[in-house]
Amino acid sequence: MDQLREALAAVARDLGAADADVQLERPREEAHGDLATNLALQLAKRLKRKPRDVAAEILAKLTLPPGVIEKAEIAGPGFVNFFLAERALGATLTAVLGAGERYGRSDAGAGRRANVEFVSANPTGPLHVGHGRQAALGDAIASLLEATGWQVTREYYYNDAGAQIANLTHSVQAWIRRLGGEDAAIPPGGYHGEYVRDIAEQYVHEHPSDAGGADLDAIRQFAVRALREEQDRDLQAFGVAFDVYALESALYAGSQVDTTVRRLVSAGHAYERDGALWLRTTDFGDDKDRVMRKSAEKGGDFTYFVPDVAYHVSKWERGFTRAINVQGADHHGTVARVRAGLQALEMAIPEGYPEYVLHQMVSVTKGGEEVKLSKRAGSYLTLRELVDDVGRDAVRYFFLMRRGDSQLVFDVDLAKKQSEENPVYYVQYAHTRMAGIFRNADRDPTAVGPDFADPSPLSAPAETELLKLLGQYPAVVEKAAEFLEPHRVIAYLEELARAANAWYHHHRVLGEPAPIERARLMLARAVQIVLRNGLTLVGVSAPERM
């Protein structure tokens, strides 16, 4: 492909257009060949000639690399279509079988370090469905980066000491007093879920000396730990693991917050007004300036903006050349101000740092009606309940099959009731069928390597189609990683599974004449490898049996 591109560039130079951008793409239509270029269309205007005439001259001057291209032809308004020789497709097969589980991986990231922050829910309640989308998305993005050569840290940031935690603490305290027979009300802004009562009961059980709930600090620590542990259990059930848990309170304790403010002031972008300390973020693309330290009458403490900036400084200083934040779209307002804060430090942090992957909200329908999301346990909306009901694989797959910036309707009834028709089963089933071939043949699939047999008997249309798809997988992974869009992998897997199921239905493997059987075993093994690699990449299992 690179050879072809260079050959075309040489022709372009010859025609006096050395700066032409040579584009090679895979045509949608099979009749349009395996690769196509629009070079003639691009050049036609500046050469003031008809596109098809330019295409003819390109073709005449083109020196094709030997053995790779079978034929080339002019089509449509002036496209030049190239047809790959069969040998090239056979090479795909040996590439897949040779690389195995490494097929599709690359080292584009060259071992540089990337931080992917996601979920980052404060420990004020169980994880809900929206966190589930974020967990699936963040984990898959991290995996995509790993597959393309980045050294990835999965990070979870949470606040264990702010106003929301105080609300939680007082809510638990109120329940402790209720359990003691008092008539205590949940404070305004407090948490009403049943889990609050459960925590209160546990607290009383483990702290008999404080049955009255007087020790707020002890209650806070207990509640935060209990909810963090519950969230960890939920994430574990979902198959997501983090490398680093970062605490907001540590930024204060480690004086990073103070240091950040000092740097911002000395960089000259801060000013005082109405008794508060402001940062002129409008100098760096924000739409309004931000308060860093509140005025004395408002309490005189820092706004959340400051630790947010300090936190991202810490990512930079820990050596992450990329920081990717996966967040709900309701947080999009923070994007401009965090970046502006980092620029205002004048520490040579790149302008686009950190990168954001924002996903739209998940709405949940149950019984045909939309259910409002809230942090109430028992409302059938926690991630844990969804995973327990629908299954980890289906939940992961559903959350990833859509682009992040389209809204997602998760119909719980449908996911449960019609789980057999879920696309995830279709893809997994294709994998199971390939595995079944080796099971029935009583063969070890891992023994089928690139030198297992001669792949040339694979000539049926369904087979060349499969080989082409297998050859596309590395590019799919590369693009999905580049755009941080795991749904591209899902779409590819469905296409591959469709082609694999059609092939399986029309062609037998076992019992055919030996050269054909052995060649098809290679193809079946290659399909199995790529399906498994892709499913693993998006966090879905590839079962041998279902």
Partner RNA sequence: GCGCCUGUAGCUCAGUUGGAUAGAGCGUUGGCCUCCGGAGCCAAAGGUCACAGGUUCGAAUCCUGUCAGGCGCACCA
CA distances from 238 to 133, 155, 360 (A): 11, 16, 20
Which residue lies nearer to RNA by CB, 96 or 427?
A: 427
Which residue lies nearer to RNA by CB, 176 or 484?
A: 484
Q: Are 81 and 38 in contact (CB under 8 A)?
A: no
Could you tell me the smallest distance in angstroms from the CB atom of residue 238 to RNA?
21
| Residue 461, C-beta contacts closer than 8 angstroms, at least 6 positions apart | none
Which residue lies nearer to RNA by CB, 272 or 388?
A: 272
Picking from 215, 172, 162, the residue whose alpha carbon sits closest to that of residue 195 is: 172
Could you tell me the smallest distance in angstroms from the CB atom of residue 140 to RNA?
14
| Residue 209, C-beta contacts closer than 8 angstroms, at least 6 positions apart | none
Give me the DSSP letters along 6-71: HHHHHHHHHTT-TT----EE--SSGGG-SEEE-HHHHHHHHHTS-HHHHHHHHHHH--PPTTTEEE
Q: Please tell me the distance from the alpha carbon of residue 312 to that of residue 353, in angstroms, as a whole number.
A: 9
Could you tell me the smallest distance in angstroms from the CB atom of residue 28 to RNA?
4
Q: Please tell me the distance from the alpha carbon of residue 232 to that of residue 421, in angstroms, as a whole number.
A: 30
Could you tell me the smallest distance in angstroms from the CB atom of residue 510 to RNA?
4
Q: Are 364 and 128 in contact (CB under 8 A)?
A: no
Main-chain phi, psi angles of 207, to 5 degrees: -125, 65
How far, rounded to the nearest angstrom, does the alpha carbon of residue 406 sit from its chain's CA centroid?
Answer: 14
Which residue lies nearer to RNA by CB, 263 or 479?
A: 479
Which residue lies nearer to RNA by CB, 118 or 504?
A: 504
Q: Please tell me the distance from the alpha carbon of residue 282 to that of residue 207, in angstroms, as a whole number.
A: 51
Which residue lies nearer to RNA by CB, 32 or 228?
A: 32
Which residue lies nearer to RNA by CB, 36 or 395?
A: 36
